[in-house]
Amino acid sequence: MAENLRYLPSVSAPGISSGTGPCYYVYGYSGTSVDGAKASFNYNEYGVLYNWAAAKAACPSGWHLPTNEEWTQLANYLGGKSVAGGKLRESGTTHWRSSYTGVTNETGFTALPGGFRDFDGTFQSTGYRGYWWSATEGDEPYSAWFIHMSYNSSGIGTNSFADSMIGGLSVRCVKN
């Protein structure tokens, strides 16, 4: 997919969390109206933030949430994690806080800094960082792997930590 997923069957208030049931958030939106959320700037620019349970079921038929291995294969194909973010990230400063050396978006992936929804219900890092789920569960309780990109780097990182499934991150789907 060339943009962050915008599938939004319902809206979870920012203070609602779950490690097992699906939750859907729109950055900065505190209501529960789907129409209200879809009318917001952040929905239209950055898409929806999903907890892991929602992310696993969000991709349309014929598509899937990429595994951590698929994200790693993509990074390796693009020259490794230290440079892959620059080839995936939108260039310029329309959405990112600043431009960075090595950012070309030559893949057309156009990664945007949609930020994330933290465990405590706060939204953080829009304009600074983008986070995308993988379908791979982590080793810690309620953990799953994700990738991230930052405004001040041309690389990508991968991470997994306890309770990460509860947070809200962006989703990109891969065609089967």
Mean pLDDT of 149-158: 96
Question: 87-120: b or e for each residue (b if 16 or more CB lie within 10 Å)?
Answer: bbbbeeeebbeeebeebeeebebebbbbbbbeee
Phi, psi of 159 (to 5 degrees): -155, 160
Q: What is the number of other CB atoms lying within 10 angstroms of the CB of residue 174?
A: 15
Contact assessment for residue 29 and residue 43, using Cβ atoms and an 8 Å cutoff: yes
pLDDT of 4 higher than 90: yes
**Cα radius of gyration (the chain):** 15
Mean pLDDT of 146-174: 95
The pLDDT of residue 20 is 86
The pLDDT of residue 174 is 97
The pLDDT of residue 10 is 98
Split at pLDDT 50, 70, 90, the class of 53 is: very high
pLDDT of 25 higher than 80: yes
- pLDDT exceeding 70 applies to what percent of the chain? 100
- pLDDT exceeding 90 applies to what percent of the chain? 89
| Amino acid (one-letter) located at 88 | L
Mean pLDDT of 49-56: 97
Split at pLDDT 50, 70, 90, the class of 111 is: very high
The pLDDT of residue 132 is 99
Mean pLDDT of 41-67: 98
